Amino acid sequence: MLSGVSMTSNEERMKFLLQMHKVYWSNISRAEDACWKMMAAYTALIAGLTFSVPFIGYSGFLGVFIPFSFMSVIISLNANLWFLRNISLISNLEKEFLSDKDYNYLIPRRWAQKYPFLNSEPWWVFVSVYFSVCVIITFFIIFPKINCTERKFAISLFLIFSFFTIFYGWWMWRRYKRFKAEAPGKQLS
């Protein structure tokens, strides 16, 4: 019984599923907002670090910049996983409401399929941008200005955070693969 109205259990289920559908779309919007906020923080960090180089030096710049860059990549990978989870759940719910004949009429049939982990959604653009900016600033802008010891520090930091980021991305991919296997949704004919 919802809102004091007597309904059959099927009506209650449908209302619940529609509410879930709304929440999943809301979750996608929230994750996208978080990524744009991260981009703003990243841009502000670069500006702030640039102004602070006379005080902290290039090693100080890289000591903050490299970990923050990879943290931004990790946040984007996590947002990708949440996007995939929510869009997959939306697809599963739509299969409950739409009949087979609604596909390729109301919505494309391909939308009923699960996205691959590596996809064309904005999360991967963020991953690429953060990584590219990190490489360009570290190795093409700052590297020529630092001594051998500072270069070793920068390379070590870059490799350590690369390893953790690759491991995290692999772990996110495994989690999504497991999710797809455990929640495939209704099969279309």
Q: What is the pLDDT of residue 7?
A: 54
Q: What percent of the chain has pLDDT over 90?
A: 65
Instruction: Compute the distance between CA of residue 101 and CA of residue 52 in angstroms, rounded to an integer.
Output: 61
Q: How far apart are CA 122 and CA 128, in angstroms?
A: 10
Mean pLDDT of the chain: 91
Residue 156 parent element (H or E): helix 148-182
Q: How far apart are CA 142 and CA 42, in angstroms?
A: 18
* Start-to-end CA span in the chain (Å): 33
CA distance 155 to 138: 9
Q: Convert the pLDDT of each residue in 76-88 to its tens digit.
A: 999 999 999 999 9
pLDDT in tens, 33-70: 888 999 999 999 999 999 999 999 999 999 999 999 99
Helices 148-182 and 9-97 sit at what angle, rounded to 10 degrees?
120
The four Cα atoms 152, 158, 163, 169 give a dihedral, to 10 degrees, of: -170
- Distance from C-alpha of 70 to C-alpha of 160, rounded to nearest angstrom: 10
Q: Is the pTM of this model over 0.85?
A: yes
